[in-house]
Amino acid sequence: MKPSSFRYAVPTTLRAAIDIRAASEDSVVLAGGQSLIPTMNFRLANPEVVIDLRKLDELNYIRVGGGMVRMGAMTRQRVVEEDAEALAANPLIRETLTNVAHPAIRNRGTIGGSLAHADPSAELPTLLTTLRGTLTAQGPSGRRSIPATEFFEFIFTTALEPDELLVEAAVPVLEPGEGWAFTEFARRHGDYAVAGVAATLLVGPDGRISRARLGACGIATVPALLTECEELLTGNAPGDELFAAAGQVARDAVTVSDDSATTKAYRRHVLAGLVERTLKTAMTRVGVPR
């Protein structure tokens, strides 16, 4: 389990990184390496060129402002998790990140690495999708923003062009009093989940849900937006029955088929329960000052 050999490129500027990415037929981008290096150790990936972004300090930042939390692609997940300003602005980010693998992995794993890897079972892509976040790509012809709901196209497949790099991920801050939660069920702590659910709830002065955002991982070929649940919830008064009904509605969002360890019917069952639970947890945080 050793990687095969490769050309190793270490750019010191984003410009140079994009140039070499554009110039390479068969390259991979090494950020934190926590998903890439296992696949190279198994020799499932045998790239000709590895572009190591470790010197791109310009992609290592967390900026809160303009209603957004912006994270540079090379920011370590653990750094974001521990960032007080990000926590104050959007506590769902930390709750999601603490479900990603284990601390030793998050110490190395980056925001951009996980998002560009686009594993539909992963937590971060689900966070971005649920919150209708934005991903910023940069290529030879410049920067462009891609809504998270369009960024993830299939398992391990994104809207990035072959010559583009993911440079930033941004999610909106939560409104004052907005409730939030991330819940997942994995067979083993820290593993990719059977299913996971991210949710936010905003309740208006009339006591009804004015905005609900729900997304799930592990159930489809992309991080799934549970729009039917969102519609069911919005405009209604929150309560256990409503949340249970949302869980039932969510079941149909499961599109992955049976695999040898997990049936589709079981995944549907888990998703329903998690949606209900996540909403209940989010509700406990509605109106609570942060």
Partner 1 sequence: MSTRQFGARVQRNEDQRLVTGKGRYVDDIPLTGALHGAFVRSSVAHARITGVDVSRALALPGVVKVYTHADLGALDVQMPLLIPHPCITHGRTQYPLARDEVFHVGQAIAFIVAEDRYIAEDAVSLVEVGYEMLPVEVDFEKAAEPGAPLVHHDVPGNIAAHLVQESGDADAAFAAADHITSIKVRVDRSTAAPMECLATAARWDEVTGELTVWDGTQAPIGLRGALASLFELDEHRVRVIAPDVGGGFGPKIHFPYANEVLVPLASMELRRPVKWIEDRSENFVHMTHERGQIHEIELAATSDGTVLGLRNRFLHDTGAFIPYGIAVAQVAACQIAGPYRIPNVRVEFSCVYTPTVPVTPYRGCGRPQANFAIERAMDQLAEELGIDRFELRRRNFIQPEEFPYTRPNLIFADGLAVTHDSGEYEKALTALTDALDLAAFAKEQREAWAQGRYLGLGVSFYVEGTGLGPYEGGHVRIHPITGKIFVNTGLTTQGQGHETVFAQIVADQLGARVEDIIVVEGDTGVYDWGVATFASRAAVVSGSAIHKAAVLARKQVINAAANMLEADPDDIELADGRAFVVGSGTAGVTLAEVATASNPLRYAFNKAAQSATQFAPAARSDGPSLGEGAHPGIEATDYYSPPHATWAYGVHGAIVEVDPATYGIKIHRYVCVHDCGNMINPMIVEGQIAGGVAQGMGGAFYEKLDYDEDGTLRNASFMDFLIPYATEIPHVEMIHQETPSPLNPLGIKGVGEAGTIPVAQVIVSAIEDALKPLDLPPFRMTPLSPSLIHSHIAESGNRG
Partner 2 sequence: MSEVTVFEPDEPVVVEVEVNGEPVTAEVPSRMLLSDFLRQRLGLTGTHVGCEHGVCGACTVHIDGRPARSCLTLVAQTDGRSVRTVEGLACADGTLHPVQRAFKECHALQCGFCTPGFMMAVAGLLDERDDLATADDETIREEISGNVCRCTGYMNIVSAVKRAAELSNERG
The residue whose two tokens read 């949340």 is 243
Q: Are 41 and 2 in contact (CB under 8 A)?
A: yes
Q: Give the Cβ contact number of residue 126 at 10 Å.
A: 31
CA separation, residue 240 to residues 43, 130, 199, 236, 246 (Å): 48, 22, 15, 12, 10
State the binding string over 186-205 for partner 1 (x if CB under 8 A, else -).
-xxxxx--x-----------
- With CB under 5 to 8 Å by kind, the binding choice for 108 among partner 1, partner 2, none is partner 2
Smaller CB distance to partner 2: residue 33 or 139?
33
- With CB under 5 to 8 Å by kind, the binding choice for 16 among partner 2, partner 1, none is partner 2
Stretch that binds partner 2, among 35-43, 143-151, 240-248, 262-270 (CB under 8 A): 35-43
Nearest distance, CB of residue 205 and partner 2, angstroms: 38
Euclidean distance between CA atoms 8 and 141, whole angstroms: 24
Q: Is 5 in the site for partner 1 (CB under 8 A)?
A: yes
Residue 110 neighbours by CB under 8 Å, 6+ apart: 31, 32, 73, 74, 75, 76, 77
Selected from 27, 28, 29, 30, the binder of partner 2 by CB under 8 A is: 30
Nearest distance, CB of residue 71 and partner 1, angstroms: 26
Radius of gyration of the chain (CA): 19
Residue 284, H or E segment: helix 264-284
Interface residues for partner 2 in 175-214 (CB under 8 A)? 189-190
Q: Is 260 in the site for partner 1 (CB under 8 A)?
A: yes
Smaller CB distance to partner 2: residue 9 or 111?
9
Nearest distance, CB of residue 250 and partner 1, angstroms: 12
Q: How many residues bind partner 2 (CB under 8 A)?
A: 38
Stretch that binds partner 2, among 95-103, 163-171, 245-253, 282-290 (CB under 8 A): 95-103
Q: Are 264 and 219 in contact (CB under 8 A)?
A: no
